[in-house]
Amino acid sequence: MERYSLRPHFGSCSQAALATSFVLLIGGLARPAAAQFDPGILGSLATPGRAINVVVSGTTVNVTCANRDGVLSRQEAAAFNQERRQRREEQRIRNQLPAPTHADVKYGEHALQAFDLWLADPKEVGAATPLCIYIHGGGFQGGDKSGINAWVVDLFLAQGISFASMNYRLTNGGEYPYPTAMYDSARGLQFIRSKSAEWNIDSNRIACYGGSAGAGISLWLAFNDDRADPDSEDPVARESTRLLAAGTLNGQSTYDMRTFREWFGVPDLPDHTALVAFYAMMEGETADTPRVAMLAEDASPITHLTKDDPPVYMYYAQPNSEVTIETNQGVWVHHPLLGLKLQEAMSTLDLECIVISPEIEDITYGDIYDFLVRKLSDPIDPCPADVDDDDVVGVNELLLLIGNWGFCPPICVIDFNDDMVVDVEDLLFLLAAWGACP
């Protein structure tokens, strides 16, 4: 593709106000011997009716001669400008978020401890709606809940799924280091659950996803132990932080530079600059400093992975290319290898983890949004320990467990944690659910 700088004239060369410089990108065409400009026209095109791309003030736009005579006239240029303005207005309307049902709801005292909430109409009369929470990215240093696309909100609402977009305190040069962003998001989740009856949200059907830093927070919430404190005097703190599913857009499964270097096989990979504020690193501290190393291990979602964690969908926009010491930090911190490493760890626990990138395909779901919608819409067994479906977890289940103790037949409904053996963990799960089912 060749580039040509052409100066159009309308009437004469002296009309400087109209002598705007254009760059024509004419793909696959031979370079014209000369571009002819006549009064009243913009310029001759190489092929009549051939669409060309015009870069105007850094923006590429498509122009076609309306009458296919190979000449772009003043009238055709005016019509193009009118069409361009109309497209911009249509795009602005498409990107305009619907008004939240509840805007800028505070879950803490800081201005950034807030979320916007769009409540969906339930698909069935009287039913509570599932909820998808979006957490923005920005290296823990920037970003905002308003960055969510309108079409995403509309997509979930159309499926009868309520939607929230959440802010959290940013690092601000180390003022709010780890675990602030994670704890803020967990608190926001608990706050929403505390209002589930008022907002008609199904507290058992909540999923979370985000981009980059927001993706890492989503994974951290998905894999961490439940932060609910049933004995707390604070009703919000008594709520669960567990998720039904999690999704990531260019997300990180680790925030430990030692792990990045090991996975990429680059021992001297430079520290990511965002991690300095994320760990409030002081002069002289490195990834190997015990204080930083301890924080990095705890901040890394993969550290907390256990076999009772929810399914994950991870999308990456870039290919699984080699990383060297020269690779830009914005590339390796959004690298699909970070998803593949998590997928490997989750597969050993028989947990679902989908990874997608330009060269990694998986047709299980249409995309991350299909994954989240399906996970939030699929039926959930409210009482998995009730294996005989009599709405009571009791003696029948206990006798079945004792009868299968120590092994697992091909169909093993009493093996609650799917580890192919009936043991103490299954007994404890049964005892915790003992009594009438909810």
Minimal CA–CA distance to 107: which of 234, 250, 275? Answer: 234
Here the tokens at position 257 are 């530079």
CATH number, residue 359:
3.40.50.1820
Residue 235 belongs to a domain: yes
Q: Are residues 126 and 180 in the same domain?
A: yes
Domain range for 409 is: 392-436
Q: Are residues 125 and 215 in the same domain?
A: yes
pLDDT at 335 over 90: yes
pTM for the model stands at 0.72
Residue 385 belongs to a domain: no
Confidence of residue 83 (pLDDT cuts 50, 70, 90): confident
Residue 22's pLDDT is what?
Answer: 38
C-alpha Rg value of the chain to the nearest Å: 28
pLDDT at 74 over 90: no
Length of the chain: 438
Q: Are residues 278 and 416 in the same domain?
A: no
d(CA 91, CA 152): 15
**3-class state of residue 60 by DSSP:** strand
Residue 285 belongs to a domain: yes
Confidence of residue 89 (pLDDT cuts 50, 70, 90): low
Count of Cβ atoms closer than 10 Å to residue 64 Cβ = 14
- Count of the separate structural domains present in the chain: 3
Averaged pLDDT score across all residues of the chain: 84
CB neighbour list of residue 414: distance below 8 Å, 6 or more residues apart: 387, 397, 400, 401, 404, 422, 426, 430
What average pLDDT does this structure show over 375-388?
78
Here the tokens at position 430 are 């049964």
The DSSP secondary structure of 265-290, one letter per residue, reads T-TTPPPPTHHHHHTTPPTT--TTSH
Residue 117 belongs to a domain: yes
Q: Are residues 120 and 210 in the same domain?
A: yes
pLDDT in tens, 151-197: 999 999 999 999 999 999 999 999 999 999 999 999 999 999 999 99
pLDDT in tens, 287-320: 999 999 999 999 999 999 999 999 999 999 999 9
Here the tokens at position 117 are 């909430």
pLDDT in tens, 257-296: 999 999 999 999 999 999 999 999 999 999 999 999 999 9
| Candidate from 54-63, 83-92, 187-196, 400-409 with smallest mean pLDDT | 54-63
